[in-house]
Structure 1
Amino acid sequence: MNLIDFSSYAFIFAFFLYCFAFLFYVVAIAGKKWNNRNAADHERRWGRIAFATAGAGLGGHLLFFFTRWAGGGHIPTSNMYEFMTFLGMAIMVAFIIIYLLYRKPILGMFALPLVIIIVAYASVFPQEVQPLIPPLQSIWLKIHVTTAAAGEAFLAVGFAAGLIYLLRTIDYGSASKQARREQFWAEFALFMIVVACGFIITVFVFRGFGYEAVFTREQVPVADSGQQQSDTSQVKYAMPPIVKPYNSTEVAMEPFLGMKRPLFEAPSWMHGVGAARKLNTVIWSFISGGILYGLLRLLLRRKLGAAIHPLTKDIDPQDLDEISYRAIAIGFPIFTLGALIFAMIWANIAWSRFWGWDPKEVWALITWLYYSAYLHLRLSKGWHGKASAWLAVIGFVIIMFTLIGVNLVIAGLHSYAGV
């Protein structure tokens, strides 16, 4: 067995330990209501078991990281699979640091699912070790990517604490306009998490069945001479095509639930060979996520937020507010170093300029400006409590778009990360 194969087994080992740790945290928090006499001892005992399991998972994750590094010859952060696995590992490190400071088991109940989703999402991408393209062959790749991910990891923990704060403080027994609005947006945040889970499940289900559909797409670019030249490209789908590429012809398509052809064609303004496929993936994500959300609602017979709310009643909201702020206060300067300062140094080495208007650079700047505003509003304007928690949640949405949306949807110099 070579190191790359061994690292894959270590990765699977870590993933399952994370799943068990999450279940143990659920037992620690939810099980208290069945053990009223010794609720504190129950939470403490199971919290320790969960923390030890999460720590063992992190150990397996670190083993994956270093063995893949040794077997691949370069730090494993050069594509979406490697970067997302590193981000999941960094979130675990950030969670453990914050947990050791505040000792709140409920934080693990929200941070562990975030790690599990990110790790599972990473597994969607090709896992082969790929040779580094010239811009990535620099020591600044290690410095820039690792510090940026470390900063984002602490911001992710701040998001988890902020979301718990909202679920703790929103009045689910009130029918007032403000309460209904808060309930709606908190439920929407949970729904989007379920959609992410639905996307991952859908990818693995169709991959397991070996589904594939193929289209040929005609493009008519205008040459420099002014004459039109036709160009034919092939587009492969790993999910049943609800929407097919614009101006394309079916080559092969397996029927699915009676659907023998796509329902509609992508609009002409959707440029790029993979644009329609990405739209198709988004549609499937919302379909599967909607079904999963509906099943959870039927099982719980109430909103997800309303089901989680009782589990948070013993937590001091001020502690959650403090945890969210401290995590962001730690993550922001690290993100500033990694995503801006070190990134500009690397950009100058790779592309001979410190700053360009590449989409990834723009959204990294937007993220930095957003969290700068968060800290300003909190420290100077007194935005604590719900206002601060909502900002923490929205900020992480911006981070996810920067990591996923920009890499996979918007073409730019960082598009290699989506390969």
Structure 2
Amino acid sequence: MSLLDVSAVALLIALFAYCFAFLGYVLSIAGRKWSNRDPKGHTSRWGKMSFGLTTVGLASHMVYFFTRWAGGGHIPVSNMYEFMTFLGMMVIVAFVVVYLIYRTPALGIFALPVAVILVAYASVFPQEVQPLIPALDSYWLKIHVTTAALGEAFFAVGFAAGLMYLLRATDFMSKTKQARKAQRGIELVLLIVIIVIAFISGVFGFKAAGYHAEFSKQNITVNKDTKEEVVTKETVRYILPPIVKPYKGEVISVEPFLGMKEPLFEAPSWMKGVNAGRKLNTVIWSLILGLLLYGILRLIARKPLGRAIHPLLDGIDPEDLDEISYRANAIGFPIFTLGALIFAMIWAHQAWSRFWGWDPKEVWALITWLFYTAYLHLRLSKGWQGSKSSWLAVIGFIVVMFTLVGVNLVIAGLHSYSGV
């Protein structure tokens, strides 16, 4: 068995360990109602067991990381598959740090799914080890990407705690305008999470069924020296039924699905990201499957999902959740500042002879940094605590995820290789 085979098995073990740990954290909270004699002891026992599983998963995740590094010849953070699996590992590292400080098992109910979703999302991308392109062949790759990902991981834990606070502190029985606004906002955030889960489930389902479609796409670039147009063709492969075909793409083969034998429309020309047509198709399918799954869950719960989850968090001090969210974001902010801005600018100067070039990823990294700067300012100077602070933590992580994923859909830039 090669090192790359060992890494694949280790990642699978980590994923299963995180899933079982998540179930343990759920039982540590939900099971208190069944443990009439000693509910605190029940939470403590299951919390310790689940944390033990989490550390086993993290150890296995690290085995994946270092064996892939040794087998591939370079640190495995150079494409979307590798970066997302690494970010998932960093989320667990951040969770472990915060858990050891606050000893709150309920945090695992929301933090671990973030890591699982990231690792599952990574599996959508090609998993082969790819050689480094010249722009990435630098020791700054290790420094920039690892610190930026660690900062984003603490933002993810801050998001989880912030969402927990909103679910715990919001009065879902109130009919006031402010309460209804909070209820709708929470439901929207839960819908976004469900859409992501549905997307991953849909991709795995179609991959398991062996579905595929292929298109030929013409690319036109201009030679900077001769000013002549260079025409190249590439094959774009879909694993989800094509509702949208690539811009100026021609059908090679499409498997019929539910009577649909060809795409319904073409991707707009203003979408310049790498494989934007395929990604837009994925977004549309994610919305369809997510809304379907949300509708099924609403039928089962027979109430808004936020109201259904709220009773499970009874007994948890909302002030503790608010403090955890703030501390996680406060830890993540300086790390993110170093990795995503300072180290990134130093590397940019070495690679492209300039510190700043208004590349889309650079701009959105700056927007993310400014957002969390405003979050800390409002928290410390204006006294924004509780619901206001938690909403900022939730929105901030949505901005982070758009920076990581969404920018590649709409805009092409120097970081477009990360979307391959």
Q: Same fold (TM over 0.5)?
A: yes
Separation (CA, whole Å) in 1 of partners of 2:115 and 2:61: 11
Q: Secondary structure at the match of 2:126?
A: coil
Please say if residues 170 and 183 of structure 1, whose CA atoms lie closer than 8 Å, have aligned partners that are also in contact: yes
Please give the residue correspondences for 1:71-220 in structure 2 after superposition, counting only pairs within 5 Å: 71-217=71-217
Residues in 1 aligned to 2:234 and 2:68: alpha-carbon distance in whole angstroms = 34
Aligned-residue offset at 1:269: 4.1
Q: Which residue of 2 aligns with 1:354?
A: 355
**How far, CA to CA, are the matches of 1:286 and 1:221 in structure 2?**
33
Residues 273, 411 of structure 2: 8 Å contact kept: no
Task: Work out the CA distance in 2 between the residues paired with 1:325 and 1:74.
Answer: 35
Structure 1 residue 232 displacement after superposition:
5.3
Whole-angstrom CA distance in 2 between matches of 1:397 and 1:228:
39
Q: How many residues align?
A: 419
Q: Could you tell me how far apart the structure 2 residues matched to 1:338 and 1:122 are?
A: 21
Within a 5 Å distance, the mapping from 1:390-409 to structure 2 comes to 390-409=391-410
Equivalent residue of 1:216, what SS?
Answer: strand
**Against the structure 1 CA distance between its residues 306 and 90, is the aligned structure 2 distance closer, same or farther, given a 3 Å change threshold?**
same
> Relative to 1, partners in 2 of residues 1:64 and 1:168: Cα closer, same or farther, differing over 3 Å?
same
Q: Residue 16 in 1 paired to residue 16 in 2? A: yes
Give distance in 2, aligned partners of 1:218 and 1:71. Answer: 35
> Matches of 1:346 and 1:220 in 2, distance apart?
30
1:323 equivalenced with 2:324 (yes/no): yes
Deviates more, 1:18-27 or 1:224-233: 224-233
Kindly state the Cα deviation for residue 245 of structure 1 after the two structures are TM-superposed: 3.1
Q: Does 1:336 align with 2:337?
A: yes
Shift of 1:404: 0.9
Distance 2:351 2:125 in 1: 25
- 1:105 aligns to what SS in structure 2? coil
Aligned-partner SS, 2:252: strand
Match of 1:239 in 2: 240
Instruction: Measure, in 2, the Cα distance between the counterparts of 1:345 and 1:269.
Output: 31
Equivalents in 2 of 1:179, 1:202: separation in Å?
34
Q: Given residue 288 of structure 1, which amino acid in structure 2 is its aligned partner?
A: L
Structure 1 stretch displaced more, 298-307 or 184-193: 298-307
For 2:210 and 2:94, locate their aligned partners in 1 and report how far apart those are by CA, in whole Å.
Answer: 37
Return the alpha-carbon distance in structure 1 between the equivalents of residues 223 and 69 of structure 2: 44
8 Å CA contact 2:274, 2:412 repeated in 1 = no
| Residue matched to 2:60 | 60
Residue identity matched to 1:259? M
Q: Which residue of 2 aligns with 1:29?
A: 29
Residue aligning to 1:48: 48
Change (3 A) 1:36 1:235: same
1:226 offset after TM fit, Å? 10
Match of 1:367 in 2: 368
**What amino acid sits opposite 1:24 in the alignment?**
G
Kept in 2, the 8 Å contact 1:198–1:285? The answer is: yes
Deviations 1:5-24 (Å, cap 9, x if unpaired)? 10110000000000000001
> After the TM superposition, which residues 373-388 of structure 1 pair with which residues of structure 2 at under 5 Å, given as runs?
373-388=374-389
Q: What is the match of residue 70 of structure 2? A: 70
Structure 1 residue 409, shift from structure 2 partner: 3.8
Give, in whole Å, the separation in 1 of the partners of 2:343 and 2:269.
Answer: 39
Counterpart Cα distance in 1 of 2:204 and 2:23: 22
Normalising by structure 1, we get a TM-score of: 0.95
**SS of the counterpart of 1:252?**
strand
**Contact in 1 for aligned 2:280/2:409 (Cα 8 Å):** no
Of stretches 395-404 and 244-253 in structure 1, the one that deviates more from structure 2 is: 244-253
* 1:212–1:238 contact (8 Å) kept in structure 2: yes
Quote the offset at 1:37 in angstroms: 2.5
Counterpart of 2:252? Answer: 251
Q: Distance in 2 between matches of 1:246 and 1:346?
A: 34
Give the superposition deviation at 1:94.
0.7
What amino acid maps onto 2:286 in structure 1?
S
- Cα 1:345–1:220 change in 2 (3 A) is closer
Q: How far apart in 2 are the matches of 1:147 and 1:56? A: 23
| Aligned partners of 1:28 and 1:43 also within 8 Å | yes
Q: Which amino acid aligns with 2:98?
A: I
User: 1:118 and 1:272, CA in 2 relative to 1: closer, same or farther beyond 3 A?
Assistant: closer
Letter in 2 for 1:17: A
1:291 positional shift: 1.5
Gaps in structure 2 of 5+ consecutive residues: none
CA, structure 1 residues 264+106, in 2 after alignment: closer, same or farther (shift >3 Å)?
same
1:262 corresponding residue in structure 2: 263
Q: TM-score, normalised by structure 2?
A: 0.95
Q: Which residue in 1 is equivalent to 2:292?
A: 291
Give the superposition deviation at 1:79. Answer: 0.9
- How much does 1:312 deviate? 1.2
Q: CA deviation digits over 1:351-391, x for unaligned, max 9?
A: 11111111111111111111011011111111111000000
SS in 2 for 1:143: helix
Deviates more, 1:185-194 or 1:403-412: 403-412
Residue pair 2:273, 2:409 contacting (<8 A) in 1 also: no
Alpha carbons of 1:216 and 1:4: their partners in 2 closer, same or farther (altered >3 Å)? closer
C-alpha separation in 1, matches of 2:96 and 2:129: 29
- What amino acid sits opposite 1:95 in the alignment? F
CA distance 1:228–1:375, change in 2 (3 Å):
closer
Give the distance between the partners of 1:123 and 1:19, measured in 2 at CA: 16
Secondary structure, in 3 states, of the residue corresponding to 1:250?
strand
Aligned AA (2:204)? F
- Alignment-derived partner of residue 308 in structure 2: 307
CA distance in 1, matches of 2:133, 2:119: 24
Distance 1:120 1:229, change over 3 A: closer
Could you tell me whether the CA contact under 8 Å between 1:235 and 1:273 is conserved in 2? no
Separation in 2 of the partners of 1:191 and 1:220? Answer: 39
Contact in 1 for aligned 2:22/2:50 (Cα 8 Å): yes
RMSD, aligned α-carbons? 2.0
8 Å contact kept, 1:158–1:324: yes
